[in-house]
Amino acid sequence: MKEKLTRREEEIMRHFWAQGEMFVRELRELYPEPRPHFNTLSTMVRALEAKGYLGHNAYGNSFR
- pLDDT of 44 higher than 80: yes
- Of residues 4 and 27, the one with the higher pLDDT is 27
Overall average pLDDT of the 1-13 stretch: 89
| Alpha helices (H) in 1-64, listed in sequence order | 7-19, 24-29, 38-50
Residue 34 has pLDDT above 70, yes or no: yes
For the cut 80, the answer to whether the pLDDT of residue 42 exceeds it is yes
| Per-residue confidence (pLDDT) for residue 47, from 0 to 100 | 94
pLDDT at residue 12 in the model: 96
Residue partners of 2: CB distance under 8 A and separation at least 6: 51, 52, 53
Cβ contacts of 8 within 8 Å, gap of 6 or more: 44
Q: What pLDDT does 63 receive?
A: 67
